[in-house]
Amino acid sequence: MLYYLFQYLDQVYNFPGAGVFRYISFRAAMAVIFSLIISLLFGKRLIAILQRKQVGESIRDLGLQGQKEKQGTPTMGGIIILSAIFIPTLLFAKIDNIYIILMLISTVWLGFIGFLDDYIKVFKKDKKGLAGKFKVIGQVGLGLIIGTTVYFHDDIQTKVEIPSDLLDKVDQQKVTNILDTEGRTHYMLDRKLPNTSIPFVKDNEFNYSSILALLGENMRKYTWVVYILVVILIITSVSNGANITDGIDGLATGTSAIIGMTLAIFAYVSGNIIFANYLNIMYIPHIGELVVFASAMMGACLGFLWYNSYPAQVFMGDTGSLALGGIIAVFAIAVRKELLIPILCGIFLIENLSVMIQVSYFKYTKKKFGEGKRIFKMSPLHHHYQKLGMHESKIVSRFWIVGIMLAVLTVVTLKLR
């Protein structure tokens, strides 16, 4: 909103300094600052309110060190994170940008599902919370919205630079002339394709329609079905992965901040024609605006970490974890980097896999030997290390280090092919 105000002041009244709002870097910095302020100030007040209302976490006894001390710690703190993302984004981003609209929808949608789950657990005293099938239905619903919009919306497309000597061979209505900061003209061809990027591969674009082409050229017209199914799978998996990771103080919060910073880098270079051409990656018009959103997300996570680090004064609950996972998934889809999720979200992935492996192996051994056996002392993986006697603050620190290494590897894929 402030973007439009200062744009008006700059154009009509030539207001001193108003032009700085044109720069994404400035608005991203302001989003970080405001999200930190909101999460720190609002967080302190919300924690006090939750304590008065006795909105405490009911923790099942798993025999873990320090678990009893966590009993009654305020939950639903994800409201702090969502507020610190939503408000700065509204203030500093272009809210008519289709990518910003999708991110705001995702934030509210999954935040509401998580809030319902926490509300049932806390106020209805039902430890199971919202039934799993309803969570999945909500995630699938969001996937349908995101997948359909990204595939069909006219404002969502990529551009590829074409040499000037080939201009007469393409549809001129689909060519845009873009002047860079050095005065050079780039001829960009509009493409409305469901493309994504394959890591570690030269000329690394992948079109989902090529999957169906294996069954015949006529099958390409159903590409939208495949794409939407892939989007649903990604959103559901990453959202649940973040939810599972939120098991010890600061783990999901810090990991999400690291991932958010990495996605901000991808949004910036993909939305800048000079960097996109230099790195030989897809140029995605208007995607740079997501840097403002990612900055708000980083600031919100860091501000929340002030209260969520060990020993936690508040837990984010499903209100925060489901939303953060969904935000990350939708963001990766928007910047056409969804195939990098297994690397970038490696912490979420390994936590998810540890649960799947544990449950599958237990059922297999129980069926075959009559007695269930376990690979890990407890799942998700962070609880396994707790059972080994490692303090949770050390576990979180080491998981963050791994997360940073994975983030660096993800960024390196821009040139390592």
- Within-domain flag for 4: no
For residue 36, give its domain range. 29-157+192-341
Distance of CA 148 to the CA centre of its chain: 18
- Within-domain flag for 176: no
Confidence of residue 50 (pLDDT cuts 50, 70, 90): confident
By percentage, how much of the chain surpasses pLDDT 90?
50
Going by C-alpha positions, the residue among 374, 89, 5, 65 that lies closest to residue 249 is 65
pLDDT tens digits along 164-208: 666 666 666 666 666 666 667 766 666 667 788 888 877 677 888
Structurally, the chain folds into a number of domains equal to 1
In the three-class reduction of DSSP (H, G, I as helix; E, B as strand; rest coil), residue 158 is classed as strand
Here the tokens at position 80 are: 């702090």
pLDDT tens digits along 357-406: 999 999 999 888 888 888 998 889 998 998 898 989 999 999 999 999 99
Here the tokens at position 268 are: 């910036």
What is the rounded average pLDDT for all residues in the chain? 86
Confidence of residue 33 (pLDDT cuts 50, 70, 90): very high
- Within-domain flag for 282: yes
Cβ distance 105 to 153 under 8 Å?
A: no
Confidence of residue 300 (pLDDT cuts 50, 70, 90): very high
Distance of CA 388 to the CA centre of its chain: 31
Instruction: Examine the pLDDT at 61 and tell me if it is beyond 60.
Output: no
- Within-domain flag for 410: no
- Within-domain flag for 375: no
- Within-domain flag for 127: yes
- Within-domain flag for 212: yes
Distance (Å, rounded) from C-alpha 374 to C-alpha 361? 7
**Residue 110: count of CB within 10 angstroms of its CB:** 32
Cα atoms in the Cβ-side hemisphere of radius 13 Å centred on 73:
21
- Residue 336: per-residue pLDDT: 92
- Within-domain flag for 277: yes
Confidence of residue 407 (pLDDT cuts 50, 70, 90): very high
pLDDT tens digits along 202-236: 767 788 887 777 777 777 788 889 999 999 999 99
